[in-house]
Amino acid sequence: MTELRTLKVALLGCGNVGAQVARILMDDADTLASRTGAHLQLAGIAVRNIDAEREVDLPRDLFTTDAETLVKDADLVIELMGGLEPARSLILAAIQNGASVVTGNKALLAADGPALYEEADKAGVELSYEAAVAGAIPILRPIRDSLSGDRITRVLGIVNGTTNFILDQMDSTGAQFADALAEAQRLGYAEADPTADVEGLDAAAKAAILASLSFHTRFDLANVHCEGITGVSAADIAAAKEAGFVIKLLAIAEQLTDADGDDGVSVRVHPTLLPREHPLAAVRGAFNAVFIEAENAGELMFYGQGAGGTPTASAVLGDLVSAARRIVLGGPGRIESTTGHVPAFPIDAVTTSYYIGLDVADQPGVLARIAQLFAEHGVSIEIMRQTIHRDADSNVESAELRIVTHRASEAALAATVKAVKGLDVINSVTSVLRVEGV
């Protein structure tokens, strides 16, 4: 056998994912060498605290607190520290030293990706980040490479396992949000401070990355309209269920034409009703999935584990092997594609179907008055369903009205809801949620 060259790999960060990456680099060294044509030698692991407890038993002499020195000597750098600094500076240093970089840092990419891509292009190295979106699911490479001859029109993603687990719990057990969150925390699916997940911020960073690749244009967090799931009630879920829908937190990026006839893209994250027969509706628990509509390919879906140390390590290693192969075989780095030049639209430019739940007085003519009011605001009703409840003790009747609209603008819908609230026959507006996939 011919002698293989050795490529030095620096690992920055040794949390869940990092520890598994280190383990696989050592356990599967021979397989990885045969696939890349080079020994991938784990040169060191930079951490803040060498003595911290870790999931995997790793040789102590691999650890260092001096990330700068470790990066200087590496051919390949894997950044799994998270956060903006020092991750950004270390990645830039690696690129400037001619190392290819693999990162899973969605927050950094969503905040500052373009500057990093430019540096990588300039230095002729690869910057890859499959692990940053939807964990183990190969989604970025298919969008960038496999669909490079097609035009993506829409991306709908379940890209946050924590919120999907919570919504799934609420759907299957009838639990309230707070109880489902507590259960997710107990099982380790949600962090002690769940803000980034439940407020949709994690999904928003992923939405920006997905939108940038899908529409060949740079989008960042500021372009993403973001609503979390803290306002979703057990009653919302139950009503959706009865109407044949399931509520999912979706990251959405879609091509659309605004009221002025201009083409652009809306990037947004919000709780969304999906018909139960939609392929995304069956994505349960902590799983992730990304549903893509493309002009020629039609509907595609990519499904798998969205988090977890070992699954996410698979995505990191796929990027690492690809980058290493390129070093061995030569050839250009992967180029950022920014030929799309489409503007990001604010949420006002979006038209979707809406689901509206109303608690109304049970009087003759109520339906007609509400329908009339929707029509006056140019919002067309697709489905209107009234359920009468009679309280057995008090014998008082109340009526619940559920409306699904045709596509309407955010503004028209808001004006309609405001007007509906002013009607004397309305006790309360119980929910207003967007609907996709109908």
Could you list the active site residues?
206
Q: Strand 287-294 relative to strand 298-305: parallel, antiparallel, unpaired?
A: antiparallel
- Cα distance between residue 438 and residue 434, in whole Å: 11
The stretch near its own copies (CB under 8 A) out of 171-179, 192-200, 314-322, 362-370 is 314-322
Length of the chain equals 438
- Assess 321 for contact with its own copies (CB under 8 A): yes
Kindly tell me which residue out of 204, 315, 366, 420 binds its own copies, with binding defined by CB under 8 A.
Answer: 315
Q: Are 353 and 434 in contact (CB under 8 A)?
A: yes
- Assess 188 for contact with its own copies (CB under 8 A): no
- Cα distance between residue 10 and residue 44, in whole Å: 5
- CA quadruple 210, 351, 226, 274: dihedral positive or negative? negative
Residue 86 buriedness (CB in 10 A; 0-12 / 13-18 / 19+): middle
Residues β-bridged to residue 404: 355, 383
Min. distance of Cβ 132 from its own copies in angstroms?
13
Kindly tell me which residue out of 242, 262, 299, 382 binds its own copies, with binding defined by CB under 8 A.
Answer: 299
DSSP, res 170? H
HSE of 249 in the Cβ direction (CA atoms, 13 Å)?
A: 34
Residue 198 buriedness (CB in 10 A; 0-12 / 13-18 / 19+): buried
- Assess 20 for contact with its own copies (CB under 8 A): yes
Which string of b and e fits 164-183 if b means at least 16 CB within 10 Å?
Answer: bbbbbbbbeeebebeebbeb
DSSP, res 142? I
- Assess 8 for contact with its own copies (CB under 8 A): no
For residue 426, give every residue at least 6 positions away whose Cβ sits within 8 Å of its Cβ, in sequence order, or none. 358, 359, 360, 361, 370, 420
Min. distance of Cβ 304 from its own copies in angstroms?
4
DSSP, res 125? -
- Assess 405 for contact with its own copies (CB under 8 A): no
**Would you say 415 or 438 has its CB closer to its own copies?**
438
R_g of the chain computed on alpha carbons? 25
Min. distance of Cβ 147 from its own copies in angstroms?
6
**Would you say 306 or 357 has its CB closer to its own copies?**
306
Site map 35..74 versus its own copies, x via CB under 8 A: x---------------------------------------
Element (H, E) at 63: strand 63-64
Q: Strand 127-128 relative to strand 63-64: parallel, antiparallel, unpaired?
A: unpaired
Q: Strand 152-158 relative to strand 245-257: parallel, antiparallel, unpaired?
A: antiparallel
Site for its own copies in 339-368 (CB under 8 A): 339
Min. distance of Cβ 250 from its own copies in angstroms?
17
Min. distance of Cβ 423 from its own copies in angstroms?
42
The stretch near its own copies (CB under 8 A) out of 26-34, 60-68, 170-178, 225-233 is 26-34
**Would you say 143 or 432 has its CB closer to its own copies?**
143
**Would you say 79 or 130 has its CB closer to its own copies?**
130
- Assess 121 for contact with its own copies (CB under 8 A): no
- Assess 326 for contact with its own copies (CB under 8 A): yes
- Assess 301 for contact with its own copies (CB under 8 A): yes
- Give one word for 138, left, alpha or beta, with left for phi > 0 and alpha for psi -120 to 50: beta
- Assess 150 for contact with its own copies (CB under 8 A): yes
Residue with tokens 């680099």: 25
The stretch near its own copies (CB under 8 A) out of 1-9, 47-55, 137-145, 362-370 is 137-145
Q: How distant, in Å, are the alpha carbons of 65, 284, 291, 292, 299 from that of 302?
A: 38, 14, 7, 8, 10
Site map 269..298 versus its own copies, x via CB under 8 A: ----------x--x-----------x-xxx
The stretch near its own copies (CB under 8 A) out of 301-309, 363-371, 418-426, 430-438 is 301-309
Kindly tell me which residue out of 160, 164, 272, 322 binds its own copies, with binding defined by CB under 8 A.
Answer: 322
**Would you say 146 or 257 has its CB closer to its own copies?**
146
**Would you say 86 or 318 has its CB closer to its own copies?**
318
Min. distance of Cβ 435 from its own copies in angstroms?
21
Give me the residues that bind its own copies (CB under 8 A), please.
20, 24, 28, 31-32, 34-35, 130, 136-138, 141-142, 145-151, 216, 279, 282, 294, 296-305, 308, 310-311, 313-322, 325-326, 329-332, 335, 337, 339
